[in-house]
């Protein structure tokens, strides 16, 4: 259901525009931190949220390649990865539907599955879990309070216990090995001014 490109405009192109606006300042001072609010979606990849999934995966890739390019300039990167939240946000109900009526008719056979997406997502939480998105803001505050150079590259805020940390660890190891074998070890570590 990729007919709705608004998520790409906000979550990917918007992030690129902010990068371009901030980079001259950060390069000029020789240090800084890019903090991205990503998602666990590039790891978990739920169905029926096409535009949102694609936009968050693209933003994650943008953050990763940007980290390679800015680390030698003294700029660190942090990606905070919130998991699913079914309260305090309205993006899941809106993310699974095309905006045009013609697109909707092409997917009518999926309506029963899409209709229970919110309930299916809610079932991922341990009963009694209060999935308040405020925990994401608290994690951002915690991470930014850490000294420069001690902030994690990724910080997962997932209350659904979806094994995202384990997946991130395996992928980080594979990417770092690949980049090292290319001879670009320097882009994996922030250069201190």
Residue 1 has pLDDT above 90, yes or no: no
Sheet harboring 154-157: ordered strands across?
32-37, 75-82, 154-157
Note the pLDDT of residue 107: 77
Q: Which of 172, 181, 174 is nearest to 67 (CA)?
A: 172
Q: Is the pTM of this model over 0.95?
A: no
pLDDT, one tens digit per residue, over 131-140 is 889 999 999 9
Quote the CA–CA distance of 166 and 180 in Å, as a whole number. 21
Q: Band the pLDDT of 173: cuts 50, 70, 90.
A: very high
52 in Cβ contact with 95 (< 8 Å): yes
Q: Looking at residues 58-74, what average pLDDT do you find? A: 97
Report the candidate in 25, 26, 57 with the shortest Cα–Cα distance to residue 39: 57
Take residue 177 and report the two structure tokens written for it.
């090995």
Placement of tokens 């994401």 in the chain: 136
Burial label for 63, CB within 10 Å (0-12, 13-18, 19+), is: buried
Confidence of residue 90 (pLDDT cuts 50, 70, 90): low
Domains of the chain and any CATH numbers = 6-188 (3.40.50.720)
Q: Which residue did the predictor score with more confidence, 54 or 5?
A: 54
Separation CA 169–CA 25 (nearest Å): 32
139-146: long-range pairs with CB below 8 Å, 24+: 139/80, 140/35, 140/37, 140/80, 143/35, 143/78, 143/80, 144/33, 144/35
- Percent pLDDT > 90 in the chain is 64
Q: What confidence category does residue 48 fall into, taking pLDDT thresholds of 50, 70 and 90?
A: confident
Kindly list the distances between the CA atom of residue 5 and the CA atoms of 8, 52, 97, 142, in Å, as whole numbers in the listed order: 5, 9, 11, 33
Q: In 3-state terms, what secondary structure has residue 99?
A: coil
Check pLDDT > 90 for residue 170: yes
Residue whose structure tokens are 């056979």: 109
């Amino acid at each position: 259901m990729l007919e709705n490109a608004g998520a790409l405009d906000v979550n990917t192109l918007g992030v690129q525009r902010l990068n371009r606006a901030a980079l001259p300042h950060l390069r000029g001072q020789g240090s800084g931190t890019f903090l991205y609010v990503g998602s666990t979606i590039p790891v978990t990849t739920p169905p029926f949220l096409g535009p949102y999934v694609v936009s968050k995966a693209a933003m994650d890739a943008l953050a990763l390649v940007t980290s390679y390019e800015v680390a030698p300039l003294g700029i660190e990167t942090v990606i905070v990865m919130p998991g699913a939240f079914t309260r305090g946000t309205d993006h899941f109900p809106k993310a699974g539907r095309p905006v045009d009526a013609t697109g909707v008719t092409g997917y009518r056979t999926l309506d029963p599955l899409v209709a229970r997406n919110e309930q299916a997502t809610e079932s991922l939480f341990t009963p009694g879990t209060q999935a308040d998105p405020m925990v994401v803001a608290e994690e951002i505050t915690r991470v930014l309070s850490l000294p420069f150079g001690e902030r994690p590259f990724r910080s997962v805020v997932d209350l659904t216990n979806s094994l995202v940390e384990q997946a991130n660890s395996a992928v980080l190891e594979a990417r770092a090995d690949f980049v090292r074998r290319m001879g670009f070890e320097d882009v994996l570590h922030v250069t201190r001014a």
